[in-house]
Amino acid sequence: MTHYNGSVPETKRKPDWRDQAACGGNDTDVWFPHPTNHRDVQAAKQGCFSCPVMFQCAQYALSSRIPDGVWGGLSEGQRNNIHKKHRTDEFNHLPVVRETVLHTLREELNPVTSLRDLWDDNTRPLPGGHIEWASESTHVTWRGITYTPKQLAFIVDRGHKAVGVVRRLPEMCPVVECIHPQHIADNEERWHRKQAEERAAAQAAARAQYAAAEQVAV
């Protein structure tokens, strides 16, 4: 008489990268936070950043197009953005995955402590006292806020956000690529400069008219 009940015995999977995962044995719910819960998403990411198989985990999620959770340090939104730029078969190659993940997470893996750090890391001096943007990126993001190079230059120098558009002052600086903080101005500063110039012109005209009247009187 047999005790076989018709069930299929569980097949043990072969060892792979999952055996080295930092999340192994932990509450997996931690890596499936609501995508709008920024604090929990970041907490899950921190666990991934110290994981020895972060890139293999990211490769698995990208190749399988897993929609939910944080995998290999990538949030749901980040994986969606990556899929818009890459074919799924590209993720069969771990070096491609590694490069893609590092590019996507570059600001999270290499956080800066201040806007001044961003400025120092992405600018370089030009001859004649000018400054240019040295990064290939056309903007930077810090604490969830995105800045153009001129906006960054303005806030680092003035200590407050710009009002309106920040532009180079061509009358002060002929170098098109220059973003020297003293060579740019926002809408408010340009308005004040225009007002000051108009007052100066009016005062000069009044002085000239007075001088002319004095000569006639003599």
pLDDT at 136: 86
> Where do the domains of the chain lie?
17-109, 115-191
Q: Please, which pLDDT band fits residue 1 given cuts at 50, 70 and 90?
A: very low
- For residue 97, give every residue at least 6 positions away whose Cβ sits within 8 Å of its Cβ, in sequence order, or none: 55, 58, 59, 62, 91
Q: Is the full-model pTM beyond 0.85? A: no
Question: What confidence tens digit (pLDDT) does each residue in 182-204 have?
Answer: 999 999 999 999 999 999 999 99
Where do runs of H (alpha helix) occur along 92-171?
A: 94-104, 106-109, 115-122, 149-158
- Higher-scoring residue by pLDDT: 136, 153: 153
Whether the CB-CB separation of 171 and 123 falls below 8 Å is answered with: no
Question: What confidence tens digit (pLDDT) does each residue in 55-78 have?
Answer: 999 999 999 999 999 999 999 999
To the nearest whole percent, how much of the chain has pLDDT over 70?
A: 93
Question: What confidence tens digit (pLDDT) does each residue in 160-186 have?
Answer: 999 999 999 999 999 999 999 999 999
